[in-house]
Amino acid sequence: MYILGLNAYHADSSAAIFKDGVMIAATEEERFRRVKHWAGFPSMAVQFCLQEAGITLNEVDHIAIGRDPMAKLQKKMMFLLKNPGGGWNAVLDRVKNARKVSSLEEELAALDIHVYKSSLKNKIHQVEHHRAHLASAFFASPFEEAALLSIDGSGDFSTTMIGIGRGNQIEVLDSVDFPHSAGLFYTALTQWLGFPHYGDEYKVMGLAPYGVPQYVDKLRDIILFGKDGLFSLNSKYFRSAKHGIVGYGDDHIPKVAPLFSEYMVEKLGPQRKKSEELSQYHKDMAASIQRITEELIFHILTHLQKRTGLKNVCIAGGVAQNSVANGKITRNTPFTNVYIPSAGHDAGISMGAALYVYNHILKQPRQPAIWSAYTGARFTNDEIETYLKSRNIKYERLDDDTLYDRVSDQLINSGVVGWFNGRAEFGPRALGGRSILADPRRSDAKDLLNAKIKRRESFRPFAPSILKEYVGEYFEVTDEVPFMEKVFPFKKEKHAVLPAVVHADGSGRLQSVDKVVTPRYYNLIESFRKKTGVPVLLNTSFNENEPIVNSPEDALECYLRTNMDMLVLENCVITTR
């Protein structure tokens, strides 16, 4: 049985394909289009998935899209009645998008002249946004039973959903409806801090350790914790939704409308201008925003644990990308085990919608847990060589042992290396498939990377990839973190050892590297460890203000326009320009 999952007409559009419940491929459309957060129909991702499965569209048994325009229809109508004017425009935007969802068979049929629309219509399942999020976390997890949380900006009129997963079924317990949203709360304050673009929230998380959370009580008037374990927003701090929240133009690039009101400016001060230097007040506000968001997540989870009595929890949604909060869950709630998928954000909707259909609707048995994010594009050495020769690029093709030795030497000698290996990762994190690497022991590594390649804000940290056997030696919390989804505090004695990856508060967003899951990346780090005694590399995404590179061409172009010292494409090594 083949199931094709889609996140379409929504930010981070993507496709995933499963055979008998096992994921064969999953990828974001942005990797092919080279446009961040691309939000149209993921035609190139669909074609890639079909190619990886070795099938045609006619051979797909079910098509699942993580969007259900009919979900909470009565509540949407009540919202319209209570919010005339602006409310109508907000819902009309959703109706236009709903029409696109309803014409899905036309988009799919356009990919294959041998496919008729009529043959596709009965295959399509519309899965509510947050149910798809819950499915992406629970059905991919190792837990037979778990509490579930989906939390983001908004999707199908919900912003938060809690439930229980048992075997191949999901039971929804409760939800929070638009416009009350933890995601919108965080985004509004991200905008107020002068970061206006879609996806800028991680900048606030990176800035927070430079401040003191002394304004948390001020923020308690904006986001109100409920006795039921949920929450609401104080509407005075937010503008009315005259044109919706996230808009998509003809370029399919998501744009977030201004979210905060003049009342927020009155209470918190003027919005920081783009060119304005970050003051200590801004840093303290970032710390306070992060702190109250953590408290909210712990508030929801603590009540959820008491309600379910379970020790395992699975979390997805945009707010689940807050890796600082994720790393504190087991220390601040009664939950002892946490699973978050590699694509916990909206790209994971394609994976979740497919799993929801396979497990929950069709009642098929669960498959093994997903611990690998490597489901994207891959290229052989021969394909890479053919491409490099076509570009007249000088390179060496090395055997594995020589490769690890050469690359580790380059890193030790202050080199910055572009590492293109195996299949691309599914999700926003580079995990040793499409990574830029450096020596974490160098105190100047962060400045080198920003000068040579990334050109990003100095307050944003770089992440450590660590061999999983050594996590307990370097971090105060021991856990497997395969998808770089949690931040943990480093042990104090390791701060001086790894200055390039220890953030201002002594923490690191780690990736625990498993030899079975990613043997080549593991072997490279092990080569570095044998020479330095340190089982860690600085790892950041292989890109320069663009989506993470997908193909040898993307990687080469990034290498040529930056000051990277070495480019590794599988076993092909480039060190000259």
Assess whether 18 and 118 both reside in one domain: yes
Assess whether 454 and 560 both reside in one domain: yes
What pLDDT, in 10s, does the model give residues 472-527? 999 999 999 999 999 999 999 999 999 999 999 999 999 999 999 999 999 999 99
pLDDT at 304 over 80: yes
85 pLDDT band, cuts 50/70/90, is low
* Per-residue model confidence (pLDDT) at position 91: 53
42 pLDDT band, cuts 50/70/90, is very high
Question: What is the residue range of 50's domain?
Answer: 2-129+351-361
Which residues, at least 6 apart from 170, have a Cβ–Cβ distance to it below 8 Å?
131, 134, 135, 138, 148, 163, 164, 356, 360
* Per-residue model confidence (pLDDT) at position 88: 46
The end-to-end CA distance of the chain, in Å, is 48
> 69 in a domain, yes or no?
yes
Q: Supply the mean pLDDT for the chain.
A: 94
Inter-residue contact 210 to 286 (CB < 8 Å): yes
* Per-residue model confidence (pLDDT) at position 90: 53
Mean of pLDDT values over 456-473: 94
* Per-residue model confidence (pLDDT) at position 105: 87
> 366 in a domain, yes or no?
no
Strands annotated E in 421-533? 434-438, 463-467, 486-489, 507-513
Assess whether 442 and 512 both reside in one domain: yes
What pLDDT, in 10s, does the model give residues 146-193? 999 999 999 999 999 999 999 999 999 999 999 999 999 999 999 999
**Closest-CA residue to 150 (of 316, 377, 286):** 316
Tokens of 219: 């923020």
> 513 in a domain, yes or no?
yes
Mean of pLDDT values over 8-18: 96
Q: Worst-scoring range by mean pLDDT, 43-52, 65-74, 162-171?
A: 65-74
119 pLDDT band, cuts 50/70/90, is confident
* Per-residue model confidence (pLDDT) at position 102: 56
Assess whether 410 and 357 both reside in one domain: no
Q: What angle do CA 212, 475, 523 make, to 5 degrees?
A: 130
Q: What type of residue sits at position 452?
A: K
> Among residues 331, 361, 391, which one ends one of the domains?
361
* Per-residue model confidence (pLDDT) at position 359: 98
* Per-residue model confidence (pLDDT) at position 418: 98
Q: Report the number of distinct structural domains present in the chain.
A: 2
> What is the number of other CB atoms lying within 10 angstroms of the CB of residue 118?
9
> 485 in a domain, yes or no?
yes
Assess whether 357 and 464 both reside in one domain: no
* Per-residue model confidence (pLDDT) at position 89: 52
Assess whether 356 and 434 both reside in one domain: no
Assess whether 71 and 114 both reside in one domain: yes
Assess whether 356 and 501 both reside in one domain: no
Mean of pLDDT values over 339-345: 98
Mean of pLDDT values over 229-251: 85
Beta bridge partners of 510: 486
pTM, 2 dp? 0.95
Q: Are strands 566-569 and 254-256 parallel, antiparallel or unpaired?
A: unpaired
Mean of pLDDT values over 203-227: 97
Which residues, at least 6 apart from 475, have a Cβ–Cβ distance to it below 8 Å?
466, 488, 489, 490, 491, 508, 510
Query: Could you please report the per-residue DSSP string of 232-278?
Result: EE-GGGB---BTBSEEE-TT--EEEPP-B-HHHHHHH-SPPPTTSPP
Task: Please report, for the domain that includes residue 488, its CATH number.
Answer: 3.90.870.20
> 425 in a domain, yes or no?
yes
Assess whether 355 and 456 both reside in one domain: no
Peptide bond into 179 cis (omega under 30): yes
> 262 in a domain, yes or no?
no
26 pLDDT band, cuts 50/70/90, is very high
Assess whether 478 and 357 both reside in one domain: no
- In angstroms, how far is CA 438 from the centroid of its own chain? 23
> Among residues 329, 361, 393, which one ends one of the domains?
361
> 265 in a domain, yes or no?
no
Assess whether 435 and 544 both reside in one domain: yes
Inter-residue contact 337 to 313 (CB < 8 Å): yes
Task: Please report, for the domain that includes residue 59, its CATH number.
Answer: 3.30.420.40
* Per-residue model confidence (pLDDT) at position 458: 85
> Among residues 328, 361, 394, which one ends one of the domains?
361
Distances (CA, A) of 329 to 177, 190, 335, 510: 24, 23, 7, 16
Inter-residue contact 148 to 314 (CB < 8 Å): yes
Mean of pLDDT values over 101-123: 83
Helix or strand (DSSP H, E) at 28: strand 22-28
d(CA 43, CA 112): 11
20-51 burial string, b = 16+ CB within 10 Å, else e? ebebbbbbbbbbbbebbbbbbbbbbbbebbbe
Mean of pLDDT values over 529-534: 98
Which residues, at least 6 apart from 552, have a Cβ–Cβ distance to it below 8 Å?
379, 383, 384, 387, 388, 420, 569
> 151 in a domain, yes or no?
no
Tokens of 328: 């504190």
Assess whether 385 and 528 both reside in one domain: yes
**DSSP H helix total and E strand total for the chain:** 21, 23
pLDDT at 95 over 60: no
